[in-house]
Structure 1
Amino acid sequence: MTDTSYNDLRKKFEVMPIDAFNPSDPLIYFYQLHDSMFARLRRERPVHYCAHSDFGPFWSITRYRDIVEIESNPEVFSSTGGFTIVDIPQSPTARSFMTMDPPEHREVRQAVTPLASLNNLKMLESVISELVSQTLDGLPLREPFDWVSRVSVEITIKVLAVMMGVPQSDSSKLQKWSDLASTIPQPGAKVTDLQSYYQELQECRFYIERLCREMAGRTDLFNIASMLVNSKQSRSLSNEEVFLNMLILLLAGNDTTRHSLTGGALFVEQNPDQLAMFYANPDLLSPFVSEVIRYQTPVAHMRRTAKSDVDFHGHSIKKGDKVILWYVSANRDEDEIETPERFNINRKDHDHHLAFGHGPHRCIGKNIALLELKLFWAEMARRKLKVRTLGPPERVKSCIVNGYSSLMVQLESLG
C-alpha cells in the first residue's frame, strides 16, 4: 500500500459513522488503522456494539478501567464461552483453563504456575541466555536478514520447547502448530473452515499425547508436560483436556515474546533517543522491556461472555452476548497513560498496562516473557548492536494477534 492510499484510507476511516465500526476487521490491524479507530471509540462510544461481523455481533470494551472492571467480575462476565472473538465449538466434557471460571480455573492453573516461580526463572535464565547468545552469534553484520525468522521466532520457540519438555529438534513443529492455532479460519487463509482447522491440529494432538505418556511419573522433570500429567491439581484431566491446555500454553508462550521482540527492533530505530538512553543506563532495562510490551500489545483482545442480562455503564448487555476486551486500545487510553502514543522508556509506572490482561486470567507466563526480553536486550546492549530496518514490516492479518510475519533488517555495531 502506498503512503497516499494509506492516508486516504485513514482519513476515510476517521470520518466513518461510529455505528459502522467493526473492530474485528483484520485489515484494520494489517494497515495499522486501529489506533485512530480506538481513539474515536474511547472518546465517542467506549462501550460499542457491532451488530454485523464475520464473527457475529459483539460488544467492544475499549477503556482501561472498564476492562479491569469486567476482568474482575467473572461471576457476570465469564470465560466459559471462549477466550477470543472466534466461536470455536467446545466439547461439553473437555476444556482448557482459559475457558474456565474460578474456582475451577484456579485449580487447573495451579498445576503449571510453579513453572514461573522464582526458582525456575533462575534455572531458565542460563538456558535463555545461551540461546540468545547463540542466536546473536549467528547473525551477520551489515547484511540483510529477516528479523522475525532469524531472531524473534528462533529464540521464542526454542525457549518454549525447553518449557514444554519438547526436544529442540522438534521446535519447528511447535512453531507450525502455534501459527496454525492462532490463525482465524477464513477464505484465503491457511485454514478456511473449522473442520480443516481441527484436522490440521490432529498431528499436534497426537504428538502432545505421546509426549505426556513419556512424562507420566517423571516428577523429576520441570516442564509443562510433566506438571500437567503429574500434578495433583490436574490428574483428573482427560487426554483431550491435557492437549487443550498444552495448546493454550503453546500459544501464550509464543505470541507475546515473539511479536514484542520484533516490535522492540522497530521502536528503537524509530526512537533512537530512547535506545541511547537505555544503552547508557542499564537500570532502565525493566522499564524499557515493559514499554516495548505496552507499545506493541501483541495480544489484541480477549473475550468474555455475559452470564446474565446486565446494565454496563448505561448499555444493556444481554445474557450470552459476546464481550471483547481490547487490550490494544486500553494501552493507548489517555485517561490512564500519559502521552500513550509516545514510546517512552522512562515512565513513572512502567507496569501500568494491560498487555498481560488482568484478574484471574492474567497471563501465567508474564515473568518468563519478561525474562526472555530482558536477557535479549541486555545482550544487545552489551554487544552495542543497533538494528536498521530495510523497509516496512509485513504484519499478521488478524484481530487477535497484533504482530509481524517479516521484517528485513541489518545489524550495525555501535562499538
Structure 2
Amino acid sequence: MTQENQNNGPDDWATLDELLDNLNGDSFQDWYRERQYRQNIENGTPYFNNPGDIPEPERHSPSSLLQCQRKISYRQYNAAAEQSDPQGIFWFGTRFEEDLASSFLECAVTATGTYVRNTDWIDFKIDTDVGEIQIKGATDPLIVDCDSTPILPTEIKTKSSIENIDSPNRHHRAQFHAYLVGLSEKYEIDLTEGVLMYVSRDSLDAKFFHIQFDSEFWDQVVLAWAADHTEYRLRRQLPPPEPEYDWECKFCSYQHRCGQASTGYEATHLHGFLPDFEYPREKIVSYLEANPEMRIPPTLAIQHPDLADRFDVYNWQCRVCGESFRLEDVSDQSDSLGSPNCPTCASDGIPATLHDPRIDEQIRISTPTNVMEVEQ
C-alpha cells in the first residue's frame, strides 16, 4: 500500500450512498460513450468520433445502398435522431463476428492453403448517369489464399430471430455486390461469389445464402439507386420517403420528422428539433456538436439543465399572442414536457401555453448551413 493510500482514512472513502448514486443509467451511458471514444482512437479510427463530417454527394457506403433515400439523407446531414442507437445489437454483432464467426470459418471451413482475414477495405469509383460516384467501406471476414487475395467474402448479419428468413434481404445483396465489385477491382480478379450469413441473437441458429454476382441487379437497381441519391444531394433536395420494405418506417430514427408517425409532425427540413418533442440526451448532444450554430429548445433545456449551461437556448414562443420569452424569465416550468403558461396571455385572462419554436423559426434564428428543400 502506498503512503498516500495509507493516509487515506475512513473519511476519504466513498460512502454507500455515493456508490449507489453512481449506479444509474446516465453514468453507464456516459462511461460507454467514453469507452467507444477511446477505442476509436486506439483502433486508428478517430474520425468515428466526429459526427459533424458530411460525406460528399458522390460518396456512398455499401451498407446504405437501397435503404430509404430520405433516411440516408437525414443521417448524412446529422439530423437529430429520435431514438438511441441499438448499442447492444451493435456490440453483439461485433463480438459474434470477432469471437465466433471468424473462428468458425478458420476451424470448420478453410482447408489447406486458405486462411481467414478479418476485414478488407474497398474504395472504388464508377461512372453513372449523374457522373462518377464513389463507394467506400469495410468488409466482414473473408477467406483468402496464401497471398491474402480474396477467394470467398462473407457478410454476417445478426437478428433477433431468423425463423422467417428464406432469402437474402435486398439491402444486404446490394451491400455484398459492392464488396464483390470493389474487391475485384482492388485485386484485379473476377470475384463473383460469396456467402451471406444470418444468425439469431437469441438461439445462435444460423442460415447461409450463396450470393452470386448479378450484373443486371447491380447496374439497374443498385447503381441506379446510388445515382438517384447523388442527384438529390447535388440538387440540394430532400428525397421522398421511399423505404424498400414497409416495416422500415417503424424502426426509423426519423419517422416523426419525416411525417410517418401518428404524432402530427410533417416532413420537414434536415435541421432543428421537432418542437415539444422528447429526444434521447446523447442525440441532443451529438446534433448540437455537429451543428454548433443551432440551439437547444426550452423543453429539452428543462429536461437536461446541464445542457442548458453548455449550449445556447431558444426562447419560449406563444402561438396566441406571438411573444417570446427567455427560459429564465418563465417561472412555472417543470422537467416534464408539459408546456408553461404564457405570462402575457395569462395577464389578459387568455389561456395559452408556451412552446418550442417551430423548425422554420429555429432555422431563421440560427441560419444553419446545408439547408435542403423537401421534395414534394
Answer yes or no: same fold by TM over 0.5: no
The structure whose residues are more often strand, as a share, is: 2
TM-score calculated relative to the size of structure 1: 0.24
Q: Quick one: higher RCO (CA 8 Å, sep 6+), 1 or 2?
A: 1
Please, what TM-score do these two structures have when normalized by structure 2? Answer: 0.26
Bigger share in helix = 1
